[in-house]
A and B are shown apart, each in its own frame.
Chain A
């Protein structure tokens, strides 16, 4: 019963913040709304028997990715966007698939059996770190362990790629000006 109240609260906050992300004029307002969305989604994750994923969501998504986004917005010194109109020709092109998708989601929501309660399995410790690691690494190299290692490699290559893309070249004028200013 109390879980339903929490669910409605979290989902309302998530929806409002998500609308705020796409509807805000200033990028920082959008980023802060996105943080609100992430945290409320983490609350929903913890309500549906996924506490490890809720923690991971806050640590990685709201803590690392959003921090990166906020820092990049601050570095790029982006200002309030007054030039993008609320509605232009693109709006009509975007409204059609958006309403179609919304109709599909509404059809599923309203047509489903809402009196059906999913009874939580009393003996399954779902979503805990122990249970999740049993699923990920069932034996020595089985299950998802290979994918896990590949994801580690992916993150490493992302770091290398990001550093390569964002660093200043040593012979560019911006780097020369930087070096001049340092002396």
Chain B
């Protein structure tokens, strides 16, 4: 969830930059958050799938317990 916050912060930075640039060149700054949202969606999907599959072998959600690579 923290990763989503960070990606949103980056999107906000991109958009605020595009707002301060006069003219139509600023639309480049709206393309970057578009791709960032798409990449974040893909990353959230795969990350949650990994979490599900790790949870099945671990029965705990505490990340301090995930200290062994594939048992």
In whole angstroms, how far apart are the Cα atoms of A147 and B46 in the complex?
Answer: 20
Q: Chain B: how many interface residues by the 8 Å CB criterion?
A: 43
Beta-carbon nearest neighbor of A154 in chain B: B42
Partner of B56, one of A124, A127, A131, A174: A174
SS class of chain A's interface: helix, strand, loop or mixed?
Answer: helix
Residues of chain B contacted by A65 (CB below 8 angstroms) = 4, 40-41, 44
Partner of A38, one of B8, B45, B46, B62: B8
**Contacting residues of chain A (120-175) with chain B, CB-CB under 8 angstroms:** 121, 124, 126-127, 131-132, 134-136, 144, 147, 151, 154-155, 157-159, 161-163, 165-166, 174
Beta-carbon nearest neighbor of A172 in chain B: B56
Residues of chain A contacted by B16 (CB below 8 angstroms) = 48
A72-B48 in contact (CB<8A): yes
Q: Footprint of B on A, CB under 8 Å?
A: 18, 21-22, 27, 30-31, 34, 37-38, 41, 44-45, 48-50, 52-53, 56-57, 60-61, 64-65, 68-69, 72, 75-76, 78, 81, 83-84, 118, 121, 124, 126-127, 131-132, 134-136, 144, 147, 151, 154-155, 157-159, 161-163, 165-166, 174
Q: Footprint of A on B, CB under 8 Å?
A: 1-2, 4-5, 8, 11-12, 15-16, 18-20, 22-24, 26-28, 30-31, 33-35, 37-46, 48-53, 55-56, 61-62
